Homo-oligomer: A and B are copies of this chain.
Amino acid sequence: MVKIKDLKIGDRPEMALKFQSIQIKKTTTNDDYASLIGFDGEDLIEVKIWSLPESKKDLLRSGEIYIVSGLIKDYQGKKQFNVSDFRIASDDEVDKSAFYEYAPLSKVELQTKISGYINKIKNPILHKIVVTTLKKYVNDYFEYPAAVTIHHNYIHGLAYHVYSMLNLSDTFLKQYQYLNSDLVYSGIILHDIGKVKELSGSKGVEYTKEGNLLGHIAIGATIVSGIAESLGLLETEEATCLIHMILAHHGELEYGSPKEPLMAEAALLYFLDYSDSRFASLEKFYRTTNKGEYTDQIFAFDKKSFYVPKID
């Protein structure tokens, strides 16, 4: 199928595009039109749909893949796709996986890895709470990204982020033996559980109303507290410590944690979350920057441009 990079002004292609950042606007003559971004799995193109009958408007969904046709125009030096027709693509005609970004590990691999850590949790109360929570949300937990943008914003990103942190935690647990590994593993596995309600899904991700008004930290605390209550474990030391870790995992009040870490295990959870989110963010920039040059501004590092050393 034709690709964006091959399009020329005046072409009239039919091709598959994923729609993103959809906005419905009004023309001077007060008609609706859609302004959005199209993605062919490799490149982005600006898209306008000037004629938009009511019946078609409902088909527009951020993250969905369409078969579109229309005219390529020049607008202020850039190509613009004036789409005259579009319909949702079927799985047969398009390999949809090419349109989405995925974690480096598959869902099955992530489930195996994380299960391995769950089996290492010896404390029966923590084990019970973790297993019950994951069972309830198993589908979303292993599908969702970890964020709308910024870091791990790809399919399975949430679970991959958890797995990365578990991996890093082992060195710390070995070096600082006073840390309780059961709490550390449980805290890492559940710290972002609230994201299954904060985010809208695994594709074309945006914040839900609950996400905006409550946030994944408070949602996570109520999920775990609800499950602990249903298991008759809410009043246990384990539940209190685990919920504290979820509440405190952003590390500081100004980053949205209603409590700052007051346990060594909560402090470690914060450090690991902080580190993994930042180094995973950086990775994307390093992939597209040559040695000896500066990256674009990095949101996760206060919009600074990083330098990539010219050293082998």
Q: Do residues B171 and A175 form an inter-chain contact, with CB atoms below 8 A?
A: no
From B171, B183, B217, B279, A167 is in contact (CB under 8 Å) with: B171
Cβ–Cβ contact A212 & B262, under 8 A:
yes
A→B interface (CB under 8 Å):
9, 27-28, 74, 77-79, 123, 126, 164, 167-168, 170-172, 175-176, 178, 180, 182-183, 209-210, 212-215, 217-218, 221-222, 225-226, 229, 237-238, 240-241, 243-244, 247, 253-265, 267-268, 271, 274-275, 278-280, 282-283, 286-287, 292, 294, 301-302, 304-312
Find out whether the CB atom of A258 lies under 8 angstroms from the CB atom of B218.
Answer: yes
- Tell me the bound Cα distance from A168 to B170 in angstroms: 10
For A304, the chain B residues whose CB sits under 8 A away are 260, 262
From DSSP, what is the main secondary structure of chain A's interface residues?
helix
CB-contact partner of A263 in B253, B255, B306, under 8 A: B306
Residue contact B78 to A28, C-beta cutoff 8 Å: yes
A250's nearest neighbour on chain B, judged by CB, is: B258
What is the bound-complex CA distance between A214 and B229, given in angstroms? 16
In the docked arrangement, what's the CA distance between A172 and B258, Å? Answer: 28
**Which of B28, B172, B261, B301 is A79 in contact with, Cβ under 8 Å?**
B28
